[in-house]
Amino acid sequence: MSNDNLQVRPADYVIPADAANWQKRALIVGVVGVVICVVGAVTSLEQFLRGYLIAYMFWTGLSLGCLGLLMVQYLSGGLWGLVIRRPMEAATKCLPLMFVLFLPILFGRNVLYAWMTNATLTARNSWYLNTPGWIGRWLFYFLVWISLAYLLNRRGDAQDDPPNAGPQPRFQGLSGVGLILYALTVSFAAVDWIMSLDPTWGSTIYGLIFIAGQGLSALAFNVVILTVLTRCSPYREIIKPMQFHDIGKLMLAFVMLFAYFSFSQWLIIWAGNLPEEIGWFLNRIRGGWGIVALVIILFHFALPFALLLSRERKRAGRRLIGLALLLMFMRVVDIYWYVVPNFAHEREHFYLSIWYIVAPIGVGGLWLAYFFYNLRQRPLLPAYEPQIPSLLHQGSHGH
């Protein structure tokens, strides 16, 4: 097979000019959202902070999910990851932004977390749940995440240098260690930031549920980005149904993984039926919250699962994008269902504050604006990645 037409350069994969517009629009949404959020912080600090925590967990989770998938792809290989590598790298570069955006939670911690001001709540576990430890761990998580994102992105940059500049950068070792650190830090962060809202309750699979959720929202986000990018050059010519098929299959796997972890948590607590554990679920089933639980079962699992079984649906971005947007929305709903019934007043009756909606949109605008800014800095494909020839020759026969 001739290799004449494989002399590709990074310059061949310039991101579509439209991306500047997307960035501008996202920034407008973000700035308007932040201004409204400031109003919320002044007028109703409690509800605003809860909405902000939901928004923060979702958008940070998107960056972290991309960080995890990026490392998984470096370890496992596979053409599916090449076309979304730059978008995932751009998402990991949003982590410094999320570090700064933690400040409202840091300063509002006494309003948000009852145990910070009420020592009786942490009589048994204050060795872990104490304010200095909580702040120290926040700094440590971001030190790990930003370092991993920085190292992976720097090596990605090195790969874009002409191939004769030196040996290929090595990703596997970093990704192997990185994934272990990722799983541990995300688990502890989920405990610190969400589970500790109820400091007397514990679940050992909690962190894994958030890891599966992050992977799912990252895959769904990549489907959306890939579909949008495929409308323009150069992806219009490069992306084949195969890429969507692979990412669609992974999305189905993560839908099932999320359902499996969530069900495991439910099964064990339901079977034990212990007073100190079962209350967590009762708070999320009674008083109208059962409707939300049912919506999560139907639209976070049953419907996406049934639709993603279809081969044809997985092979076209325009047929996947609606489902991907639904899954991202359901991730927010799931986090909402985890966060809000922790609070005594809200658990009585189903409760939805305007700030639970405004905050995710506002933070999302900022995140997306920074994401597109990062994405525009570099070509869309890692041109000197050794697997690129097989990607470009996919669809032609032979091996």
Partner 1 sequence: MSHAALAPAIYGLLAEFETPTELVEASKAAHAAGYRKIDAYSPFPIEEASEAIGYHKTTVPLIVLVGGILGGLSGFGLQYWINVIAYPLNIGGKPYNSWPAFIVPTFEMTILFAGLAGVLGMFALNGLPMPYHPLFNVDRFSAATRDKFFLAVEAADPKFDLAETHKFLESLQPLTISEVPH
Residues pairing with 7 in the sheet: none
Q: How far is the CB of 248 from partner 1 (least distance, A)?
A: 14
- For residues 345 and 397, which CB has a smaller minimum distance to partner 1 in the complex? 397
Residue type for position 80: W
Compute the least distance from the CB of residue 309 to partner 1, in Å.
7
When asked if residue 397 is in the footprint of partner 1 (CB under 8 A), the reply is yes
Report the nearest approach of partner 1 to the CB of residue 253 (Å).
14
Query: 230 vs 262, which CB is nearer to partner 1?
Result: 262
Cα–Cα distance list, 71 to 65, 93, 360 (Å): 10, 14, 27
Q: Which is nearer to partner 1, 125 or 264 (CB)?
A: 264
Q: Which of 263, 299, 329, 350 binds partner 1 (CB under 8 A)?
A: 263
CA nearest neighbour of 203 among 144, 149, 263, 247: 263
Query: Within 13 Å and on the Cβ side, how many CA atoms surround 376?
Result: 15
Beta carbon of residue 207, minimum distance to partner 1 (angstroms, whole number): 22
> Judged by CB under 8 A, which of 311, 318, 322, 354 binds partner 1?
311
Smallest separation, CB 234 to partner 1 (Å): 23
Q: Does 305 bind partner 1 (CB under 8 A)?
A: no
Q: Which is nearer to partner 1, 137 or 286 (CB)?
A: 286
Q: Which of 315, 376 has the CB closer to partner 1?
A: 315
Q: Which one, 311 or 349, has the nearer CB to partner 1?
A: 311
Answer yes or no whether residue 167 interacts with partner 1 by CB under 8 A.
no
> If binding means CB under 8 A, how many residues of this protein chain bind partner 1?
13
- Pick from 6, 270, 291, 298 the residue near partner 1 by CB under 8 A: 270
| Gap between the Cα atoms of 6 and 1, Å rounded | 11
Considering the rule CB under 8 A, would residue 177 count as an interface residue with partner 1?
Answer: no
Q: Which is nearer to partner 1, 140 or 305 (CB)?
A: 305
Joined tokens for residue 194: 């969400």
271 binds partner 1 (CB under 8 A): yes
- Of 227, 209, 185, 198, nearest to 316 (Cα)? 227
Q: How far is the CB of 297 from partner 1 (least distance, A)?
A: 12
Q: Residue 107 interacts with partner 1 (CB under 8 A)?
A: no
Cα separation, 29 vs 358, in Å, equals: 10
Tell whether residue 267 is a contact of partner 1 (CB under 8 A).
Answer: yes
Rg of the chain over all Cα atoms, to the nearest angstrom:
22
Question: In 3-state terms, what secondary structure has residue 394?
Answer: strand
Query: Applying CB under 8 A, which part among 104-112, 151-159, 204-212, 261-269 lies near partner 1?
Result: 261-269
Looking at the Cβ atoms of 96 and 241, the one nearer to partner 1 is 241
Q: How far is the CB of 43 from partner 1 (least distance, A)?
A: 42
CA distances from 312 to 143, 252, 318 (A): 42, 14, 11
Specify the residue for token string 């525009």. Answer: 376
Beta-carbon contacts of residue 172 (< 8 Å; ≥ 6 apart): 74, 75
Half-sphere exposure of 256 (CA within 13 A, CB side): 11
Contact 182, 148 (CB under 8 A): yes
Nearest Cα residue to 392 out of 243, 225, 250: 243
Among 128, 266, 299, 350, binds partner 1 (CB under 8 A): 266
Under a CB-based contact definition with an 8 Å cutoff, are residues 89 and 156 in contact? yes
What's 199's DSSP letter? Answer: T
Report the residue number, 69 or 239, with the smaller CB distance to partner 1: 239
Cα first-last separation, the chain: 9
The minimum distance between CB 354 and partner 1, in angstroms, equals: 35
| Residues at the contact surface with partner 1, assessed by CB under 8 A | 263, 266-267, 270-271, 273, 309, 311, 395-399
